[in-house]
Amino acid sequence: GQNIDQPTEMTATEGAIVQINCTYQTSGFNGLFWYQQHAGEAPTFLSYNVLDGLEEKGRFSSFLSRSKGYSYLLLKELQMKDSASYLCAVRALLAGTGTASKLTFGTGTRLQVTL
Amino acid sequence: DSGVTQTPKHLITATGQRVTLRCSPRSGDLSVYWYQQSLDQGLQFLIHYYNGEERAKGNILERFSAQQFPDLHSELNLSSLELGDSALYFCASSVSSGNTEAFFGQGTRLTVV
């Protein structure tokens, strides 16, 4: 099966930088996604990593180390609107199915941005 | 707007009843995923369909079933409802079952009373 761990809650100050970590254990790894979810709303896609290294997209960056089963999401120049849950999701190929895969989400990290 | 449409947005029903949740994926997307999110909980994967065929099944109860139709829309059927089934049910779609992100609908909030 798959196991995904993220911190439950984090707090950071407006304008600061915060790093949200995610560790995972899975077989058939086929990509890692980060999503943002505001309370009661649908998750929205932030970033995708399938190879080791850093992917940068504006104020958001995501890093992946497949050998360590580790990823982080880096948020810079924090704004109040960044207060949300951040979900780490791992895609894994299903054995014996060819291209079929399953996207499994962690329970999310609730980020509170304060003044 | 993600392009994924879910109906209804809200549903209140009594225990023991049966409901059907509907999802229309983004135009051109062949994969549809269903997730359940209880209050303050993470997203729990229920089931994945690709081009009309079931491809993966998560922790989906036997009281729950789903299907994807030839026009690619999907329905999630929940029967013999219990209070604990109250949750947000999200549908997501993606282009293929490979390395592409999934786009989520706004969800159906189910309340069982």
- B102–A45 CB contact, under 8 Å: yes
- Is residue B98 very low, low, confident or very high in pLDDT (cuts 50, 70, 90)? low
- Report whether A84 contacts A92 (CB < 8 A): no
- B98–A101 CB contact, under 8 Å: yes
Region at B62 (left for phi over 0; alpha for psi -120 to 50; beta for the rest): alpha
Q: According to the model, what pLDDT value does residue B2 have? A: 83
pLDDT in tens, B39-57: 877 888 899 998 899 988 8
Q: Compare all CA atoms of chain A with the CA of B89 and give the residue at the minimum distance.
A: A42
Query: What is the DSSP pairing of strand B10-13 with strand B108-112?
Result: parallel
Reading across the β-sheet that carries A60-65, which strands appear in turn?
A3-5, A18-25, A70-75, A60-65, A53-57
Which residue is listed with tokens 């109250």?
Answer: B86
Sign of CA pseudo-dihedral A97, A53, B2, B42: positive
Q: How many CB pairs under 8 A join A and B?
A: 65
- B50–A43 CB contact, under 8 Å: no
Which residues between 1 and 20 in chain B have a beta carbon less than 8 angstroms from any beta carbon of chain A? 2
Distance (Å, whole) CA A9 – CA A2: 22
A5 Cα distance to chain centroid: 10
pLDDT in tens, A52-103: 999 998 999 999 999 999 999 999 999 999 999 999 999 887 766 666 677 8
Distance (Å, whole) CA B33 – CA B43: 11
